[in-house]
Amino acid sequence: MLVVSIYSPRCNASGFCAKIFGMKNKNAAKKILFAAAFALFAALEPFALPGVEVDIPDASGEYVYYRDYSFNRESYIGFLCYDEQTYEARWFAPATETLAEKNIDILFSVAQKNGRLDLTGERFVAPPSQEDVEVVNYIHDLIYELSGRRAKLQKSLLVDYAKSKVPFMQAGIAQADSYEQFGGPVQMLYDAAIPIFNLKKIVDYTGRDVFVVVTIGAIENNKDKTFAEFVPPTFAEKTFARREPRQFKSAQKESLSLRVEIGKDDSLVQSVQADKNWSLAGQSLWTLGDSAIVSMQTMGLPQDAALGQPKTGARFLRFFASSKNGAYCDWSALDIHAGASMVKISSRTYNPKTQKTITDIKTVRAAAQNLCGCLSLAVYTGDYQANRGYFDKIAKSYSCKME
């Protein structure tokens, strides 16, 4: 059976659940049937790198991982924020036929100094060996350099995906710079949807990606090991067992619909055009055997948020394209389409423990002012690829309107 977590309210790194904005009175609360949507727009203790103005504040427990091509072996480095003064960095290199796995994990405290992060203390989660000293020094330099370059940017890093004409991983706010570690002249590509440094990737003077975001996420509590146990997408591609894709026979057309009363006189109606292969599994949940799940939800947005705004799109990206519950979102497979009344995010997640890869399509459509419907279509990736036209047609048919 395909099991996915559609939404999950965040908790901070100390294990206390983040508070989610709600309505002030009971009557208003009834109109907001999916309060967790407010987690997109508020964090319990929002903060950013010391001395840095950001478009979207970070929340305790958020992290980012990058593929670092400056090493001779496959290498990744992740950064996790606990609060404004406390971060964690992890450098990870998977095992190869000739090299053992390497893992360096450092907790460190920081303070602002001349517009850059100054390390004021550190503790190794596991003591490094003598041969790791060079990598430890590199981590120190990387924190100093990335924070300093980010602090110099006095402009918005929001990407307007409604106007973007390039593939997702090429879209961003570009900044020419010089970085000797990566060969001299580089382009730093930024995106406010990415936590901590807002850095999407670094491109060297030859046009080659040398430092690229792999995933972002948020640990749920102090027992959550998804940051410490991160494994890269290449691991999933090499080791996951191949599941024989399923083909779906044609069946009588059928609409999957959800009607929700909004106040006394109005209803929000959501629907997709599917067929009788789908079975109702809950009030707003349908399944296609053990291959796919469709879910529809109602969500309210704050007064200052609208689907056509770049900040709203960035917040949806940070939430829907975030690794959680042991599954990692592969940003190399991410795509977003945005408009004045719609945001669609297609992602692919892999779970090292279950060895399953899932394609997830989220479509948010405006129904009324600050009221939206959200379709979630989650499919085993092999089944999706074998029946792509079938599933894309269902997602494309999603409608959401007031009646």
The reported pLDDT for the residue numbered 3 is: 41
C-alpha to C-alpha distance for 36 and 45, rounded to whole angstroms: 17
pLDDT at 38 over 50: no
CATH 3.40.1000.10 fits 35-41+247-402, yes or no: yes
The reported pLDDT for the residue numbered 111 is: 85
The reported pLDDT for the residue numbered 46 is: 61
Angle at 308 between CA 304 and CA 313, to 5 degrees: 85
| Residue pair 324/226 in contact by the 8 Å Cβ criterion | yes
C-alpha to C-alpha distance for 119 and 114, rounded to whole angstroms: 13
The reported pLDDT for the residue numbered 352 is: 93
Chain segment 327-367, per-residue pLDDT in tens: 999 999 999 999 999 999 999 999 999 999 999 999 999 99
Single out the residue of 390, 376, 393, 401 nearest to residue 36, CA to CA. 376
Say what the alpha-carbon torsion angle 80, 86, 91, 94 is, to the nearest 10 degrees: -50
The per-residue pLDDT of the chain, averaged, comes to: 85
Percent of the chain with pLDDT over 90: 66
Query: Pairing between strand 86-93 and 62-68?
Result: unpaired
Q: Which residues contact 95 (CB under 8 A, 6 or more apart)?
A: 101
Q: Which run of H or E residues covers position 147? A: helix 133-152
What are 294's strand-pairing partners?
286, 377
| Local confidence band at 19 (pLDDT 50, 70, 90 cut-offs) | very low
Q: How far is CA 398 from the centre of its chain?
A: 23
At 195, is the secondary structure helix, strand, or coil? coil
Long-range contacts of 13-16 (CB under 8 A, 24+ apart): 13/60, 13/61, 13/80, 13/82, 13/83, 13/219, 13/221, 13/222, 14/60, 14/221, 14/222, 15/221, 15/222, 15/223, 16/44
Least confident of 40-54, 176-190, 231-245, 256-270: 40-54
Q: What are phi and psi of 169, to 5 degrees?
A: -75, -5
Q: Which run of H or E residues covers position 142? A: helix 133-152
Chain segment 253-288, per-residue pLDDT in tens: 999 999 988 877 889 999 999 999 999 998 899 999
Query: Pairing between strand 356-368 and 342-351?
Result: antiparallel
Give the residue extent of every domain in the chain: 35-41+247-402, 62-230
| Local confidence band at 241 (pLDDT 50, 70, 90 cut-offs) | confident
| Local confidence band at 237 (pLDDT 50, 70, 90 cut-offs) | confident
User: Which pair of structure tokens corresponds to residue 274?
Assistant: 């599917």
Neighbours of 309 (CB within 10 A): 17
Going from the C-alpha of 373 to that of each of 3, 91, 337, 343, the distances in angstroms are 21, 40, 16, 11
Going from the C-alpha of 201 to that of each of 55, 156, 194, 204, 213, the distances in angstroms are 18, 17, 11, 10, 6
pLDDT at 53 over 90: no
What are 14's strand-pairing partners?
none
Q: What pTM value is reported for the model?
A: 0.88
pLDDT at 54 over 60: yes
| Local confidence band at 116 (pLDDT 50, 70, 90 cut-offs) | low
Residue with tokens 């399923």: 246
User: Which pair of structure tokens corresponds to residue 29?
Assistant: 């609360």
C-alpha to C-alpha distance for 118 and 339, rounded to whole angstroms: 41
Which burial class, exposed, middle or buried, applies to 318 when counting CB atoms under 10 A from its CB (0-12, 13-18, 19+)?
buried
Q: What's the length of the chain? A: 403
C-alpha to C-alpha distance for 188 and 177, rounded to whole angstroms: 7
DSSP characters over 235-280: HHHHHSPPPPP-------EEEEEEEEEETTTEEEEEEEEEETT-EE
Least confident of 34-38, 155-159, 377-381: 34-38
Chain segment 163-200, per-residue pLDDT in tens: 999 999 999 999 999 999 999 999 999 999 999 999 99
What are 375's strand-pairing partners?
296, 363
Q: Which residues contact 100 (CB under 8 A, 6 or more apart)?
A: none
